[in-house]
Structures are given as C-alpha cells and as structure tokens.
Amino acid sequence: MARTIKFRSSDGEVFDVEEAVAMESQTMKHVIEDDCADGGITLYNVTSDILVKVIEYCKKHVDAAVGSFIKALGGVDKDLESWDGEFVNVDLAIQVDISNASNSLNIEGLLDLTTRVIADNIRGRSHKRSVRSSTLKMSSRPRMRNGFGRRTPGRS
C-alpha cells in the first residue's frame, strides 16, 4: 500500500495524500526525503479549498505521467492540456490563490499554468481599462510622482 502523508490546511482540515502525489511539490519532496513528514505537515498559507485544488492537480499529473508513453518520448499530452485548461477556468481570485500556493509549495507546472492564464487575462487590455480596473492593481502601495512605488512599513 502506498504511503500517505497528512496535510493540514490553514483552517484545520486534514487531507491524506499519497507520497507520490505529495512529491510533485519540490518543497514537500525535500521534507519527505528528510523524514520530517511523519507527524503531518501544516500549511499555514493554504486554505482547504485551495489545497483540494492543488492535490487534484498533482494527482492528475501523477496519474497521467504513469500511463503516458507520449510524455516519456517528450511529446505533448493533448488530453492533459485540455484538462489543465478546464482546471484553471475559475475566478481570478482562485487563480491567484492557487498561484500563491503553487509558488510556496514549489510546484513548477502548476505555477507556470496559473501565471500563464493570468498573463493571458491581462494581455491585450487597453490602457484605460488597465488603470481603472481595480482587479489589475498589483500593488496597494501609493505611487510616487516619478512612478516608482514607495515601500510601506511592514510590507515586503
């Protein structure tokens, strides 16, 4: 039976994840290899609804890689691409949360997928729409007259 790892989300929900699926995350891979995962892993910056999505992505890609000769030959799995497209067809806020989670968990494929979708969302917007749209404000810091952002205390 495959070994499972317990993941606890920031809101306290616990998920049992197969080791092979957990190791899609480079961060978790190092934790598991260092034998630090026995007591479970708490993710303070990932909520349960986002963690479900991340686990779903990792499981799909692990399953697709096992049975895929095309990927082994360096080809492109069209079915998997189509699944990825449906996977990120969600609200912008959820895309952002998944992107943050994939960055902290170091899941390269998921990070690339989410950032690509966000970039496609931004691409081609008119200047007025970009400035006026509150959804595109990438920083809540006040802007100096010369256009450079000013760092507010306590924020990175």
Partner 1 sequence: MTLPSSSSSIATTTTASGGAFSPFALLSDDIVLNILAKLETDPRDWARLACVSSLVRTVCCRSRCYRSLPSDLLPSTAASAAWPSLHKLCVCCPGLLRAGVLLEHSDFGLERDIGPHRSVPFCSSSCPPIPPSQIHPETTDSCWSLFDDLYFDTIYDHSEFQDAVLPPIDSSPSETAVRGGSAATRKRKKHRVGPAGAHLASGPWTVSREQGSKLLASRFRGDCLYMCDWPGCVHAEEKRKYMLFRGVFKNFKRSRVWKTISDSNRGKIALGCAFCACRETWDLRSAFCLRRVFGFHDDGEPVVRAYVCENGHVSGAWTERPFLVHWYVFFILLILMMLRFGIVIVNLVESG
Residues at the site binding partner 1, with contacts judged by CB under 8 A? 10, 27, 31, 36-37, 39-47, 50, 92-93, 96-97, 99-101, 103-104, 111-112, 115-116, 118-119, 122-127, 130-131, 134-141, 143, 146-149, 154-156
Q: Shortest gap between Cβ of 17 and partner 1 (angstroms)?
A: 13
Q: Shortest gap between Cβ of 23 and partner 1 (angstroms)?
A: 14
Q: Shortest gap between Cβ of 81 and partner 1 (angstroms)?
A: 17
Residue 54 or 80: the one with the smaller Cβ distance to partner 1 is 54
* Diameter over CA atoms, the chain: 62
Residue 66 or 119: the one with the smaller Cβ distance to partner 1 is 119
Pairwise CA distance, residues 26 & 12, whole Å: 23
53-77 burial, b if ≥16 CB within 10 A, otherwise e?
bbbebbebbeebeeeeeeeeeeeeb
Pairwise CA distance, residues 20 & 81, whole Å: 21
Pairwise CA distance, residues 32 & 110, whole Å: 20
Residue 76 or 93: the one with the smaller Cβ distance to partner 1 is 93
Residue 9 or 61: the one with the smaller Cβ distance to partner 1 is 9
Pairwise CA distance, residues 57 & 43, whole Å: 17
